Amino acid sequence: MNARVQYLSSLGVDLWIPRAPLPAAAAVMPTATAARTGAANDAAWESLRSQVKDCTRCELCRTRSQTVFGVGNQHAELMVIGEAPGADEDRQGEPFVGRAGQLLNSMLRALGQPRESVYIANVLKCRPPGNRDPKPDEVARCLAYLQQQLDLIQPRLLLAVGRIAAQNLLATEAPLARLRGQVHRFGARATPLIVTYHPAYLLRSPGEKRKAWGDLKFVRGELQRARTVR
């Protein structure tokens, strides 16, 4: 909580504290069916991870150090989606590390969704050289991997961070200002999707952090709404 208070205090925004903790899921004894389902889910994840690791669908396979598959809770209610790996991510094989990753972690803690409770991935699994924008054909060839991750996780809500990620997911050229503040839908499941600023942009433009907090409160409200209908 201290880190959350410090983050919100630095933004000069109000602190939200739940009136009561969310109810814990009832403990149940594992069954043979559940064990089989869990084993099948694990196998599906491993197969997908292997496909991404060995992927040669586009030219990025020739310049990457390694693929950046995704990380986090495979049963998350919130999935965070960025644009593509950067230099740090390419070296470490994990999305959102470095200063931008640290800020994202603070944002998630302030939301009440620490990094380990969400799933984080990118539209592209390989770093574009020089951190250039993804090309349309690269997105087209890679998006199926993200959709498979979404199908396995089945989150309640998606949070797209940054203009490029949002525009590619929503197949639009609308500016970020027009995409924020509303619930979009993505994929075959029409999963709700909310758009906010990329942490790297917030590092360059700290004056926009208050708007980002407004987006996070919107996310919080939509998650609460989703819990009542599912």
Give pairs for 127-135: CB < 8 Å, separation 24+.
Answer: 127/60, 127/63, 127/64, 127/65, 127/68, 127/84, 127/85, 127/86, 127/87, 127/89, 127/90, 128/60, 128/84, 129/63, 131/84, 131/86, 131/87, 133/83, 133/164, 134/83, 134/84, 134/164, 134/168, 135/58
Query: Which range among 33-47, 171-185, 191-205 shows the weakest confidence by mean pLDDT?
Result: 33-47
Q: What is the pLDDT of residue 37?
A: 74
Per the CB < 8 A criterion, the answer to whether 32 and 76 are in contact is: no
Query: What is the structure's pLDDT at 198?
Result: 97
Q: pLDDT digits over 50-95, tens only?
A: 999 999 999 999 999 999 999 999 999 999 999 999 999 999 999 9
Among residues of the chain, what percentage have pLDDT more than 90? 80
Residue range 158-178: mean pLDDT, rounded: 98
Q: What is the pLDDT of residues 104-142, one digit of tens each?
A: 999 999 999 999 999 999 999 999 999 999 999 999 999
